[in-house]
């Protein structure tokens, strides 16, 4: 069962481990990213950062979609992490069981607009997330689980 799909450019770090893992109590973390599976240094770092009692799986986005849709992940309480909004949109589009996207941290880059202090979105990202929200996917921003949810607004350009 997918508990949460979180977008965070840092993937596994203190907020994920101390807040989200403690709150959700997942049995597995799935890193869905097209670069990490072939980057031995990043994989090693992520393995060191994960909690000892939580399984870590690292797959490309396409392989993650295939694994989720095949039912291979059904026996896990799954926290999915991706480091960018585009991958989260691909996952949600490819997996109807994704019903909640948490925007935790995206870099402030040229062409982005802040949704919160830690989440910055391009117009294309906002449009994609708004489309998912109109389909019933909960899209919200929070750094940690105890923060107030900042929903993606109906216009997609500012907090509600």
Q: How confident is the model at residue 13 (pLDDT cuts 50, 70, 90)?
A: confident
Percent of all residues in the chain with a pLDDT value above 70, rounded to a whole number: 95
Give me the domain span that covers residue 11.
6-151
Q: Compute the distance between CA of residue 48 and CA of residue 133 in angstroms, rounded to an integer.
A: 34
Q: Which is nearest to 8 in space by CA: 63, 64, 19, 38? A: 19
Domain membership flag for residue 156:
no
pLDDT in tens, 18-45: 889 999 999 999 999 999 999 999 999 9
For residue 152, what pLDDT is reported?
86
- Find the CATH number of the domain harbouring 121: 3.40.35.10
For residue 15, what pLDDT is reported?
78
- For residue 105, what are its two tokens? 């941290």
Q: How many CB atoms lie within 10 A of CB 3?
A: 18
**Pairing relationship of beta strands 150-151 and 138-141 according to DSSP bridges:** antiparallel
């Amino acid at each position: 069962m997918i508990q949460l799909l979180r977008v965070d450019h840092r993937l596994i770090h203190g907020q994920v481990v101390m807040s989200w893992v403690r709150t959700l109590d997942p049995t597995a973390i799935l890193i869905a990213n097209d670069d990490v599976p072939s980057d031995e240094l990043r994989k090693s770092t992520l393995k060191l950062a994960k909690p000892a009692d939580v399984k870590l799986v690292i797959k490309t986005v396409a392989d993650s979609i295939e694994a989720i849709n095949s039912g291979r992940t059904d026996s896990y309480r799954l926290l999915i992490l991706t480091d960018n909004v585009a991958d989260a949109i691909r996952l949600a589009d490819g997996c109807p069981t994704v019903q909640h996207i948490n925007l935790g941290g995206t870099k402030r880059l040229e062409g982005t607009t802040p949704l919160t202090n830690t989440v910055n979105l391009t117009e294309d990202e906002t449009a994609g997330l708004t489309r998912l929200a109109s389909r019933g996917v909960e899209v919200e921003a929070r750094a940690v689980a105890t923060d107030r949810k900042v929903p993606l607004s109906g216009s997609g350009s500012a907090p509600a």
